[in-house]
């Protein structure tokens, strides 16, 4: 299952038709929620967003029917709790993020510490025999990998985060992501199934069409006019692709040249005069013409390593045909005004590129809803799409 070496694209997963009949219905999404999302480790944020004691954020996880508070405690540990008062189930955190000494419910003022313990009940004598120690917040399993915070709402997760990721992923990215800091974030709600959204970001076949005006010539070459995926690999339910490009067709504009110069090559095309050092699982063949690696941590956390920076995405299902998208850009923290300009350039450039990706999604979804076709056709560059649906169908127990 886990081949450490690169595979040829279609040798193991095949080619051709993929059934679409079941994958996008409300009924199927209910199964996904129960059998996948409520059992998986989901990436909800970053340790760097919670540097201080009392820093917290609230994550709405509709696919798990809950809202989760992630908070750094007085012992510096990061914990997660269901955002649910033990008294009569009101929420206890009301803003997306902040810093606090504790959480107080706005219904009857029960108060909780940063460690989730119930610490105060107004007129406690009205609750004779009630044990405060037994009525803290319900904790959610929470752990980190390479600075990314994951939660698992299963009260007894079948695997630790490390076991869930597997040793090849757990150890294979050491030090790459943590050298960067978040410099930009985009979110949007789109009328498309979360898988339709994810599928649009795991192949380079669309570049010469969707990104014809913005980024196509970074990815294409004379040998591969529609892009090339050099390595496709599966690690348990997780997947990676490695995209190569000689960038021979790309002539950087003067602005891009300046940005590359002042940011140490942190542009989409990168600086090919410099070798980008990568840990074992990024650019696994250590090719000189490497452009980008995409890691999908099942079911839908996308980590994309590029030439000296990275982007991440989450596709949070809101229903069977609506998704909340989160896109984040990470670069080296700018040290001077020139690097600030480089960051700003990339923020705007990447925003424009990914907005192009969004344009087709609701058309695809409305046609899937109409069911005028009962399959899609997947080619060799879309092997990651095929792999994802097969894995999902295995876990859900139906679909393919």
Cβ-based nearer residue to Fe ion, 48 or 357: 357
Cβ-based nearer residue to ligand FES, 76 or 125: 125
Cβ-based nearer residue to ligand FES, 108 or 371: 108
**HEC-encoded secondary structure of the chain:** CCCCCCECCCCCCCCEEEECCCCCCHHHHHHHHHHCHHHCCEEEEEHHHCCCCCEEEEEEEHHHCEEEEEEECCCCCEEEEECCCCCCCCCCCCCCEEECCCEECCCCCCEECCCCCEEECCCHHHCCCCCCCCCCCCEEEEEEECCEEEEECCCCCCCCHHHHHCHHHHHHCCCCHHHCEEEEEEEEEECCCHHHHHHCCCCCCCHHHHCCCCCHHHHCCCCCCCCCEEEEEEECCEEEEEEECCCCCCCCCHHHHHHHHHCCCCCCCCCCCCCCCCCCCCCCCCCCCEEEEEEEECCCEEEEECCCCEEEEEEEEEECCEEEEEEEEEECCCCCHHHHHHHHHHHHHHHHHHHHHHCCHHHHHHHHHHCCCCEEEECHHHHHHHHHHHHHHHHHCCCC
Considering only the stretches 46-54, 124-132, 217-225, 352-360, report the one whose residues sit in contact with Fe ion under the rule CB under 5 A.
352-360
Considering only the stretches 93-101, 158-166, 357-365, 376-384, report the one whose residues sit in contact with Fe ion under the rule CB under 5 A.
357-365
Closest approach of ligand FES to the CB of residue 335, in Å:
46
Cβ-based nearer residue to ligand FES, 135 or 360: 135
Cβ-based nearer residue to ligand FES, 105 or 190: 105
Closest approach of ligand FES to the CB of residue 298, in Å:
35
Closest approach of ligand FES to the CB of residue 115, in Å:
18
| Of the residues 22, 97, 357, 380, which one makes contact with Fe ion according to CB under 5 A | 357
Binding partner at 357 among Fe ion, ligand FES, none, C-beta below 5 to 8 Å by kind: Fe ion
Considering only the stretches 34-42, 185-193, 350-358, 361-369, report the one whose residues sit in contact with Fe ion under the rule CB under 5 A.
350-358
Cβ-based nearer residue to Fe ion, 142 or 218: 218
Closest approach of Fe ion to the CB of residue 198, in Å:
12
Whether the CB-CB separation of 297 and 376 falls below 8 Å is answered with no
Cβ-based nearer residue to ligand FES, 71 or 105: 105
Q: What are phi and psi of 342, to 5 degrees?
A: -60, -40
Closest approach of ligand FES to the CB of residue 85, in Å:
3
Whether the CB-CB separation of 292 and 305 falls below 8 Å is answered with yes
Closest approach of ligand FES to the CB of residue 88, in Å:
4
Q: Which residue's beta carbon is nearest to the bound Fe ion?
A: 357
Whole-angstrom distance, CA of residue 331 vs CA of residue 309:
5
Cβ-based nearer residue to ligand FES, 103 or 316: 103
The token pair at 176 is: 């790459």
Binding partner at 108 among Fe ion, ligand FES, none, C-beta below 5 to 8 Å by kind: ligand FES
Closest approach of Fe ion to the CB of residue 210, in Å:
5
Binding partner at 90 among Fe ion, ligand FES, none, C-beta below 5 to 8 Å by kind: ligand FES
Closest approach of Fe ion to the CB of residue 110, in Å:
48
Whole-angstrom distance, CA of residue 100 vs CA of residue 110:
15
Binding partner at 88 among Fe ion, ligand FES, none, C-beta below 5 to 8 Å by kind: ligand FES
Binding partner at 112 among Fe ion, ligand FES, none, C-beta below 5 to 8 Å by kind: none
Closest approach of Fe ion to the CB of residue 12, in Å:
25
Binding site for ligand FES (CB under 6 A): 85, 87-88, 90, 105, 107-110
Binding partner at 192 among Fe ion, ligand FES, none, C-beta below 5 to 8 Å by kind: none
Give the binding site for Fe ion (CB under 5 A): 357
């Amino acid at each position: 299952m886990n081949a450490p070496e690169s595979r040829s694209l279609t040798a193991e997963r095949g080619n051709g038709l993929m059934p679409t009949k079941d994958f996008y219905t409300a009924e199927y999404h209910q199964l996904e929620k129960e059998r996948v999302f409520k059992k998986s480790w989901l990436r909800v944020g970053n340790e760097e967003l919670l540097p201080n004691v009392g820093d917290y954020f609230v994550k709405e996880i509709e696919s798990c029917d809950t809202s989760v508070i992630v908070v750094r405690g007085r012992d510096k540990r990061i914990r997660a709790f269901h955002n649910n008062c033990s008294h009569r189930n009101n929420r206890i955190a009301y803003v997306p993020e902040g810093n606090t000494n504790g959480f107080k419910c706005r219904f009857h003022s029960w108060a909780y510490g940063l460690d989730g313990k119930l610490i105060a009940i107004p007129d406690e004598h009205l609750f004779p025999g009630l044990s405060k120690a037994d009525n803290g917040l319900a904790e959610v399993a929470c752990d980190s990998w390479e600075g990314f915070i994951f939660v698992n709402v299963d009260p007894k997760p079948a695997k630790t985060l490390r076991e869930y990721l597997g040793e090849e992923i757990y150890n294979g990215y050491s030090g790459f992501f943590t050298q960067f800091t978040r410099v930009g974030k985009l979110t949007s709600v789109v009328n498309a199934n979360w898988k339709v959204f994810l599928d649009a970001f795991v192949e380079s076949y669309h570049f010469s069409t969707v990104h014809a005006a913005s980024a196509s010539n970074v990815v294409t070459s004379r040998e591969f006019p529609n892009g090339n995926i050099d390595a496709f690999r599966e690690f348990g339910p997780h997947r990676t692709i490695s995209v190569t490009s000689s960038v021979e067709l790309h002539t950087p504009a003067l602005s891009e040249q300046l940005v590359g110069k002042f940011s140490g090559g942190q542009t989409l095309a990168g600086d090919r005069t410099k070798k980008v050092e990568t840990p074992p699982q990024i650019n696994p063949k250590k090719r000189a013409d490497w452009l980008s690696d995409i890691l999908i941590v099942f079911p839908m956390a996308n980590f994309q390593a590029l030439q000296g920076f990275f982007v991440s995405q989450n596709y949070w299902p809101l229903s069977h045909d609506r998704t909340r998208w989160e896109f984040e850009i990470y670069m080296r923290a700018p040290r001077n005004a020139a690097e600030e300009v480089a960051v700003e350039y990339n923020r705007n450039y990447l925003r424009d590129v990914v907005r192009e990706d969004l344009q087709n999604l609701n058309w695809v979804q409305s046609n899937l809803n109409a069911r005028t076709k009962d399959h899609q056709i997947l080619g060799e560059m879309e092997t990651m799409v095929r792999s994802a649906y097969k894995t999902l169908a295995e876990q859900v127990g139906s679909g393919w």
